[in-house]
Amino acid sequence: MRILIAEDDPVLADGLSRSLRAGGYAVDVVTTGEEADTALTAQPFDLLILDLGLPKLSGLEVLRRLRARNSKVPVLILTAADSVEQRVRGLDLGADDYMAKPFALSELEARVRALTRRALGASQSVLRNGALALDQAGRVAMINEQPLELSARELGLLEVLLQRAGRVVSKEQLVDHLCEWGEEVSNNAIEVYVHRLRKKLEPGGIRIATVRGLGYCLERVAAEAANDAPAVGPAQPGAVPPGAA
Ligand code: CA
């Protein structure tokens, strides 16, 4: 999940980006409306956190241009506590939610999770596939209710794949969702992360298949099969054996 924060208050921007990064999100920060507009034109984001009081170009104008380009990226606007009018205009222009300053970080994080979830069409905050469960709220993944030890990057990677279980995700998409500007993440690095994640998932019968030339696919496990699945055992029938990919 990659988030753009457009906020000119450095303390707030810093606090927001720290807490979201700790939750496994990739975060980019811009401090003017112009920069926000440029970034949104150039790059796909999973969520925009938009301060309405931005220099150079107002947050409302950034939002208007974004929706005029038919972008569906979820937008959470940040407004001053007393600006009911701005809030209403923001929602009318296509913002999905708002928070009035000052706000609790924990509430913002909950709204971020709700918006990214809604954008992907899911209503639960726990993503499941077979014995695997990823609690987006608690930022923890479990196999058969046993927590997995994952780095923030591995958790982020797993989240992107799990949200698209059964579908192929390209390395470029993974880089877009996981990496921030200035980060040099090569396709090789992505392969390393996938390799590590695979080793942690395979004991639970969860497989990440390599689709040669296209990317990766977290194989979908049928719900009924999951109930009968052994805690530790071979991958599901029909799965490509390890090393074949
Ligand atoms: Ca501001």
The reply to whether 113 and 148 lie within a common domain is no
Tokens of 195: 């390799």
Distance of CA 199 from the midpoint of ligand 1 (Å): 45
| Residue 207: C-alpha distances to residues 122, 139, 150, 200 (Å) | 22, 21, 16, 10
Tokens of 245: 């990919």
List helix spans (H) across the chain. 10-22, 33-42, 59-68, 84-92, 105-119, 152-163, 171-178, 187-201, 223-228
pLDDT tens digits, 138-156: 788 999 989 999 988 899 8
Distance of CA 86 from the midpoint of ligand 1 (Å): 13
pLDDT tens digits, 62-119: 999 999 999 999 999 998 877 888 899 999 999 999 999 989 989 999 999 889 877 7
| Residue 116: C-alpha distances to residues 4, 78, 159, 167 (Å) | 13, 17, 11, 18
Distance of CA 31 from the midpoint of ligand 1 (Å): 9
Distance of CA 22 from the midpoint of ligand 1 (Å): 24
242, part of any domain: no
How high does pLDDT run on average in the chain?
Answer: 86
Distance of CA 28 from the midpoint of ligand 1 (Å): 17
pLDDT of residue 244: 45
Range of the domain at 47: 2-119
Segment 171-198 shows an average pLDDT of 85
Using the predicted structure, report yes or no on whether residue 216 has a pLDDT greater than 90.
yes
Using the predicted structure, report yes or no on whether residue 6 has a pLDDT greater than 50.
yes
Going by pLDDT thresholds of 50, 70 and 90, the confidence category of residue 224 is low
Distance of CA 87 from the midpoint of ligand 1 (Å): 14
Segment 17-29 shows an average pLDDT of 90
DSSP state of 243: T
pLDDT of residue 138: 74
pLDDT of residue 241: 46
Using the predicted structure, report yes or no on whether residue 178 has a pLDDT greater than 50.
yes
Which residues, at least 6 apart from 59, have a Cβ–Cβ distance to it below 8 Å?
Answer: 6, 33, 36, 50, 51, 52, 53, 77, 90
Distance of CA 77 from the midpoint of ligand 1 (Å): 11
Distance of CA 80 from the midpoint of ligand 1 (Å): 9
| Burial classification of residue 42, based on how many CB atoms lie within 10 Å of its CB (0-12 exposed, 13-18 middle, 19 or more buried) | exposed
Distance of CA 82 from the midpoint of ligand 1 (Å): 14
Distance between CA atoms of 50 and 48, rounded to whole angstroms? 6
138, part of any domain: yes
Q: What domain count does the chain have? A: 2
The reply to whether 72 and 103 lie within a common domain is yes
Which residues, at least 6 apart from 139, have a Cβ–Cβ distance to it below 8 Å?
Answer: 23, 24, 155
The reply to whether 136 and 104 lie within a common domain is no
